[in-house]
Structure 1
Amino acid sequence: MIAETVCSAASAAGLGIAVVTAYRKRFVAAARIAAYSLVPVGLVMTGVVGWLAHTAFSPVAWAGFGVLGAAWALFATTRAVERRRGGTRAQRRAARDAQRDPVATAAPSSSSAPALGPATRPAAPPATAPRATGSSDDFSDIEAILKKHGI
């Protein structure tokens, strides 16, 4: 009974604000405010507010919310553990088998699948360019960096 009264009062206040907004020649905003203010009355008329009021004061409903929260926590925990370990048991076994026998798993299942393993590049020899002291070789540091990166 109280929930219905509060929703009706909120709707009346919202409609009042919509009238004032329309008086100020802001008709689109007034229509939007009126739409929002009619939602609580619609919820009361459909019985949703009564159902929610009975659910809010029901210990069984709160226990159900607790069970749902525990289930969500378990899902989140297992997902985090899976990510940390590197996938499910079957995924880890497949990856381990691929590392042991690369010939058997040389052909990927689809052509758009990413390559397994890190990309290998030949190591570049360390650049030991002498540092120039004159003004003619102002870019020697930059050249050394570029040579270091193979550019």
Structure 2
Amino acid sequence: MLTTTLCVALSVAGLGLAALTAYRRRYLRATRIAALALLPAGLGLAGLVTLGRRIGTAVGDWAVDLVFKPTVWLGFGVIACSVLLYGITRLFSGRGPAQAGEPAAGSRAPAAVPGASTPAIPAGRPAAGKRRGGSDSGLSDFADVEEILKRRGI
């Protein structure tokens, strides 16, 4: 009850300041002050000020317990163990029926064959013979962009 009364009193003071600002013909600033002045009354009437106080008190109590109670640290250890176990299961669930030494069915690049003359090409990059420019500088991928810029005179 006292909290709501203080919030309404603060809002009335703010609306008085807004009225004084409007009297000086600064209507935009007066409207902004009035908007901000109505916030304490709205927060107090909605009970959010009390809720904020309770949340702040609860967070403070938890922080004190965090420092002084070993059971809180044990709780964090259990949470970390849970996350670790879940991550391990997610890591191994993607392997499917493949054995540990074999690559999975959806692996990115084929393994190099022993005795082959050329190394395996990483996935996503075309072979050197399939490039347009023929040079291995890596800039030949921009041949389309270069052609468009030349057509526009840039």
TM-score category by the smaller chain? 0.3 to 0.5
Higher relative contact order (CA 8 A, sep 6+): 1
Q: TM-score, normalised by structure 2?
A: 0.41
Q: TM-score, normalised by structure 1?
A: 0.41
